[in-house]
Amino acid sequence: MTSIQPASDTPLRLQLTGITKRYPGVVANDGISLSVQPGEIHAVLGENGAGKSTLMKIIYGAVKPDAGEVIFDGQPTHIRNPQEARALGIAMVFQHFSLFETASVAENVWLGLNKRLTLPEVTRQITEVASAYGLEVDPDRPVHTLGVGEMQRVEIIRALLTRPRLLILDEPTSVLTPQAVEKLFVTLRQLAAEGCSILYISHKLHEIRALCTACTVMRAGRVTGVCDPRQESNASLSRMMIGAEPPALAHHERTPGDLALRVQGLDLKRESPFGTDLAHISLDVRAGEVVGIAGVSGNGQRELLFALSGEDQRAPASSISILGQAAGKLPPGKRRALGLHFVPEERLGRGAVPELPLAHNLLLTRREAVGQFGWLRTGQLYKQAAGIIERFKVKAAGPQAPARSLSGGNLQKYIMGREIDAKPRLLIVAQPTWGVDVGAAAQIRSEILALRDAGCAVLVVSEELEELFEICDRLHVIAKGHLSPSIARRDATVEQIGEWMSGLWHDEASAPSPVQQEGAHAAA
């Protein structure tokens, strides 16, 4: 699709000139200039910490610039808060979700809309938009029961309901399936054809090349180039963004070792009325292999991860074994003592305490710096944190920086680094490269493969099929609380896994798929 070219008397939808924002010890935006035409899908590309999210928050009124000018539809404007931005017709989908977890989906959406609408009217509109754009979500569900993929859908629906003139999307597809991404792209192209301008931040270069008609590249808070991404390759965009192409992964076939994780016939009723029942889940992960679980968010991933990590201890003891020990009833600390380390999908709040320094966030899962009688060896703790920051190229002010001060991608690198650096015997990780740039994603995936080659057993739960095909030895799919048979990565195709994500698998030696079971119940 080509961008809509304005007539000579049609003003730019958005023009930024000399936007500057400083924080203690860092210049997040340094004299940024950016122009967006009406009906243009404009990518903003840059590595983690390049200043993209700060710039978008300035446009949305969530952050005030120290210098520079914002012109919207030809009129100079000072956007003092998100409410004023929405009144202008600016909507934003944040990378870190801005949802009230104790409220329902409909109530969260209602908060950002014209209060002349009643809650039932908003609920009806949510259902209509969700159906039209393939963004399935239940308006009555409390947000705290949603997975990250479902929360992402809520944010997108909330933005679409405002009928924006400028839509800002910060990593909108990071936890969407390929099918959902295609539907979203149809929606975005339709919006652009109607005159809506879109600012699109993503680290997925193939998406930018397929969707966007212009691209501004940022590095270290400055604009380093403007291009038409349709005329570029992934390699050339990578060089513009990080100065080099990401290294190719070395994935060697190896014979797996001893059994590290076994799940046998796990049946678990959902704790939340909006959750998913787990039905007869069986799964093996051996030392020296990476096993992946694909699936659309909300199909039981959250419940399975809680059961494996020890947050949910209702499973029969024998249904989950870790390195030969019955672990279904063990709390998280005792599972870590067996050699399990875990990376949750929620970075802030579950993976890290926002207000704590990075060094002290190590204590959530690491105890090397805790001495006799609980005394803390501060020097050792800060040295550990500094080593992780350096090894994983985390952009932070140092070990003393609070977790909330990091960009989403840099916090993900730190949390992944914290668990990988612990040299686990079994690593369970959800969404390992959510929101990180291509260079950092390649490093994290390389570190996972290095762990595997060193004999660690790795279980990866991800909604990014490209990632699973890149690092996994075997794949499963989870759908409606059922787990498919495993299939070797070399034998799998994206099309086949996509079908399985709808519950359409069949194996004579396994239980029927959830779709087949529903058909049998209907026939009965």
pLDDT at 510: 47
The pLDDT tens digits for 22-31 are 988 789 999 9
Same domain, 175 and 199: yes
Nearest C-alpha neighbor of 416 from the set 382, 370, 450, 383:
450
Separation CA 340–CA 193 (nearest Å): 50
For residue 276, pLDDT beyond 50? yes
**Whose structure tokens read 């243009």?**
40
> Given a cut of 70, is residue 523 above it in pLDDT?
no
Contact 12, 207 (CB under 8 A): no
pLDDT band at 32 (very low <50, low <70, confident <90, very high): very high
E strands of 372-511, at which residues?
426-430, 457-461, 474-479, 482-483, 487-488
Measured between alpha carbons, how far is 295 from 65 in angstroms, rounded to an integer?
A: 40
**Bridge-partner residues for 7, per DSSP?**
none
Residue 5 lies in a domain: no
Q: 212 Cβ partners below 8 Å, 6+ apart?
A: 41, 42, 43, 200, 229, 230
Same-domain status, 69 and 198: yes
Residue 279 shares a structural domain with residue 369 = no
**pLDDT score of 515:** 53
Same domain, 126 and 43: yes
Q: Is 501 a domain residue?
A: yes
Regarding whether 428 and 300 lie in a shared domain, the answer is yes
What is the 8-class DSSP label of residue 370? B
Which of 399, 407, 391, 332 is CA-nearest to residue 360?
A: 399
Q: Are residues 86 and 170 in the same domain?
A: yes
CATH number (domain holding residue 207):
3.40.50.300
Query: Which of the listed residues 391, 421, 451 is the one where a domain comes to its end?
Result: 421
Range of the domain at 399: 347-421
* Residues paired with residue 142 on neighbouring β-strands, in sequence order: 104
Indicate the residue among 421, 436, 461 that finishes a domain. 421
Span 446-459, pLDDT tens digits: 999 999 999 999 99
- Across-strand partners of 45? 217
Q: Which amino acid is located at 177 in the chain?
A: T
End-to-end alpha carbon distance in the chain? 49
Is residue 224 a part of any domain in this protein?
yes
Q: What torsion do the CA atoms of 278, 281, 286, 287 make, to the nearest 10 degrees? A: 10
- Name the DSSP letter for residue 142: B
Q: pLDDT tens, 428-444?
A: 999 998 877 787 888 89
Which residues are bridge partners to 16 per DSSP? 34, 70
Of the candidates 179, 187, 262, 244, the residue with the CA atom closest to the CA atom of residue 500: 179
Last residue of a domain, one of 421, 447, 476: 421
Q: Where are the alpha helices (DSSP H) in 310-363?
A: 332-338, 358-361
pLDDT value of position 1: 36
Q: Are 413 and 444 in contact (CB under 8 A)?
A: yes
| Same domain membership, residue 67 and residue 139 | yes
Give pTM, 2 decimals.
0.71
